[in-house]
Chains A and B, each alone.
Chain A
Amino acid sequence: MISFFRDVLRVLRLPCREQTHLLSRQLDAPLSRGEACGSRIHVLYCRSCRTFRKQIRLLRDLAGSAGRELQSAGELPEDVRRRIVKGIQANRGRDTTQES
């Protein structure tokens, strides 16, 4: 409970620059409950950070739908597959301590 309020207060004191870091981080990892709460309060009264949050979420969603389209974008062509496998066999027995 104490850490919750500590996090809320800490986040509420952060300027917008750090708020945007939290808003972005939230898309990659969960914030602590206190951090999430502080961030939500900041966004309630800060229109610019609210716009920022809305836009990075939209971008993430657009990127995701681009990725889903990618899923149906075709298979490794047979000729390419054959050449790659041939390349693997040509590579065997090579000095494996050398980085390409």
Chain B
Amino acid sequence: MTTHEQLAAARPDFAAIAAWIPHGASVLDLGCGDGSLLGYLKSERDVCGYGVEISDAGIVACVQNGVNVIQNDLDSGLKDFESHSFDFVILSQTLQATRHTEPLIQEILRVGREGIVSFPNFGYWKNRLDVLLGNMPISKELPYQWYDTPNVHLCTFHDFEQLCAQLRVQILDRRVMSGRDEVQLLPNLLGSMAVYRFRLAPKSA
């Protein structure tokens, strides 16, 4: 397996995201970590990409990996980025850890033509079961203890879609996953993670 195949296996949302991105698109990846998604998109889609990352370790890793990275706290907004300057703004597995989540979604659609967001589903049946049995869920998608989690804004798919409707955000596409498999049936119960593609709803709609 090549590095990129390994990556796609480890992060099923990567392949889903890449499938939506046309060749040569401009991409801003928020909370880009070590830059693996951007590296993946660069090799698969030849994107012009930049990452935003807050951690020092992430900055060094991105620089090592030859990925453009801007050190910035997402919760202070995207003020370094001009309006409508990217085809896609991606927030991969980071939404739940942002403090100012609602303004950030608006910032994503100020800077990007379309937004792509992936996040774990708190409504996944195993999470519901954990809570029913009396404990906060801990899983591959939610690997933290309640007291050390960076996830301050966990939500279900329903919750996210409700917020989108409230913000006049039009959901263009959605891929619900359980591990590496795509889920069609009862997504808010059977899906552990989803990737959404969205844009601002056209004014006339």
Q: A and B bound?
A: no
Chain B interface (Cβ within 8 Å of chain A)? none
Interface residues of A, Cβ cutoff 8 Å to B: none
